Structure 1
Amino acid sequence: MATDDAFAPLRRELDRWQEAGRPATFWWRDDDAVADSAALQRLLALADAHGAPLWLAVIPARLEESLPAALEDRAAIGVLQHGIAHQDHAAPGERQCELSATWQWEPLRAALQAGRERLAAAFGPRFRPVLVPPWNRIHAGWTTRLPEAGLVGLSTLGPREPVPGLTVVNVHADLIDWHRRQYAGDAAVAAALARHLAARRQGEGQGGADPAEPTGLMSHHLVHDAALWDGCARLLAVLAEHPAAIWLEPETLWSTRGVSHPRR
């Protein structure tokens, strides 16, 4: 539910960044895109209305021709690779995971590479060969081998840990409470963003997060209900109104360790 002061912790943290003369950088990732739809058009309109660049994590095996066409004239939309087919390959008793230890590396490499090639052909330069694992999970043994499939980056959930050979840029606040399958709420989303911002401001040397990693928002447009759409709009309005909040451009976000040219 929305309350008048639910975003106060986020605003206070943004104030601290402004007082320090530092831009609080953000990025936005939406998962599970496969086709054009009314929900996708609403997502794109919301991004446009608030000047927020957007990355779509697209499922290669489920891609439909309507999605590249829907993005054709939209410069502020980037595309990442959302696994292979978004199918669960977890071992019995384990949490859902497509890129699990049940694979042999060579079939997995071939499947990842085929997905990357399909997205590159469909989306051209707006596609970045960056892996977004379904359910934000990947077997630890595969991460360092991703460059063998032609992948240059990785994006999951939580503060990033460096991976040799990859640029890692994660998301840190999920709009959805998956246990209840509903909007997490203004207060929960604001708190998650404020926590990561505060950890960045403190810096790695103070036990915080990587200061250079932009703070990431995660959404799933295909399952949004009215509460989720409204909550997302309120959050974007808060960020658009605060002078310290800066969105990073899609075409430069994955250049070097997530440091890129800011956009207001």
Structure 2
Amino acid sequence: MSDKAEWQPLRDELRRWSEAGRKVKFWFRDDDAIEPTPALDRLLALSNRFEVPMTLAIIPGPTAEPLAERLARESRITATVHGWTHQNHAPDDTKKQELGLHRPQEVVLDELHRGFDKLKALYPQQFIPLLVPPWNRIDDALLPHLAPFGYRAVSVFGLAKQAPIGLINTHIDIMRWHGVRGGLPHAEIIGRLVEELQNRFDGNDEPIGVMTHHLVHDAVAWSFIETLFEETAGHAAIEWRPVGNFVH
């Protein structure tokens, strides 16, 4: 267990869950995998050390056999579709988006179809029919067209809303994306995590998703993941689940 005082609010909230005899479901999603890297090895080592299942959102266009071969021996890893090339097609003055209607809808859908088929072929044992839109953004008009390709759910950021396809969202982002890049201060992430736990205690049974990006982690980010697992893996109030448990 970490001896850092800043983690105490999380410990206190989990004690409340334990005393109530309740459990909360967590899942872990890491984005932008393309090929084997030392950073990916570091992430996988944490998964194995703490026995925490992880979902990798893999960019289908540029990925190939080397990543599939590296992951084939990893029993806790599942593969999901992360857009097509993770390329922004939105105007410069708007938020980045690959899966918008800035191009013909049939072009975008064709890429999503190809991405599904490519990763399903590369990962016959580990593939989950989940779409993770780059930048967590997808135009609502595309959602009704995903099921015929085989998709069963989409994962974006924030509490799930009504949608024509299942939503398995993330809620905790450990990175600071503006200004000085790197992991957010631990106390800030812990505060958000406690808020999500309090929301679930009050009746929302949505699994809490933690989102990471292994290729851009600094020491602060890596330290957060390791300490989070130290604090939660095996805790009586927490179940770390593979995302496949939630995709139907």
TM-score calculated relative to the size of structure 2: 0.93
Rounded Cα–Cα distance in structure 1 between residues aligned with 2:206 and 2:199: 11
1:182 aligns with 2:182: yes
Higher RCO (C-alpha under 8 Å, 6+ residues apart): 2
User: How far apart are residue 88 of structure 1 and its match?
Assistant: 0.1
> How many residues in Structure 1 have an aligned counterpart in Structure 2?
246
Alignment match, 1:8:
8
Rounded Cα–Cα distance in structure 2 between residues aligned with 1:250 and 1:137: 19
Alignment match, 1:121:
121
Which deviations, in whole Å up to 9, do the C-alpha atoms of 1:178-217 show, x marking residues without a partner?
A: 11311102111111221111112112xxxxxxx2211111
Alignment match, 2:221:
228
Rounded Cα–Cα distance in structure 2 between residues aligned with 1:63 and 1:54: 18
User: How far apart are residue 95 of structure 1 and its match?
Assistant: 0.6
What is the CA RMSD across the aligned residues, in angstroms? 1.7
Letter in 2 for 1:181: R
Letter in 2 for 1:23: K
- Percent of counterpart pairs with the same letter? 37
Letter in 1 for 2:176: D
Letter in 2 for 1:85: T
Rounded Cα–Cα distance in structure 2 between residues aligned with 1:103 and 1:201: 42
SS in 1 for 2:209: strand
User: How far apart are residue 94 of structure 1 and its match?
Assistant: 0.9
8 A contact 1:186–1:235 mirrored in 2: no
User: How far apart are residue 125 of structure 1 and its match?
Assistant: 2.9
Within 5 Å, which residues of 2 pair with 1:137-156?
A: 137-156=137-156
SS in 2 for 1:93: coil
User: How far apart are residue 92 of structure 1 and its match?
Assistant: 4.1
Between stretches 49-58 and 102-111, larger displacement belongs to 102-111
Q: Is the alpha carbon distance of 1:229 and 1:136 closer, same or farther for their aligned partners in structure 2, counting shifts above 3 Å?
A: same
Letter in 2 for 1:168: L
8 A contact 1:76–1:250 mirrored in 2: no
Alignment match, 1:107:
107
Rounded Cα–Cα distance in structure 1 between residues aligned with 2:76 and 2:92: 41
Between stretches 53-62 and 94-103, larger displacement belongs to 94-103
Q: Which runs of 5+ in 2 are unaligned?
A: none
Rounded Cα–Cα distance in structure 2 between residues aligned with 1:106 and 1:148: 14
8 A contact 1:79–1:127 mirrored in 2: yes
Alignment match, 1:64:
64
Alignment match, 1:240:
233
Q: Which runs of 5+ in 1 are unaligned?
A: 204-210, 256-264
Rounded Cα–Cα distance in structure 2 between residues aligned with 1:250 and 1:167: 12
Letter in 1 for 2:172: A
8 A contact 1:174–1:219 mirrored in 2: yes
Rounded Cα–Cα distance in structure 2 between residues aligned with 1:162 and 1:15: 32
8 A contact 1:3–1:186 mirrored in 2: no
Alignment match, 2:169:
170
Q: Is the alpha carbon distance of 1:241 and 1:50 closer, same or farther for their aligned partners in structure 2, counting shifts above 3 Å?
A: same
Between stretches 80-89 and 70-79, larger displacement belongs to 70-79
8 A contact 2:59–2:86 mirrored in 1: yes
Rounded Cα–Cα distance in structure 2 between residues aligned with 1:72 and 1:241: 25
TM-score calculated relative to the size of structure 1: 0.88
Rounded Cα–Cα distance in structure 2 between residues aligned with 1:111 and 1:125: 22
Q: Is the alpha carbon distance of 1:5 and 1:57 closer, same or farther for their aligned partners in structure 2, counting shifts above 3 Å?
A: same
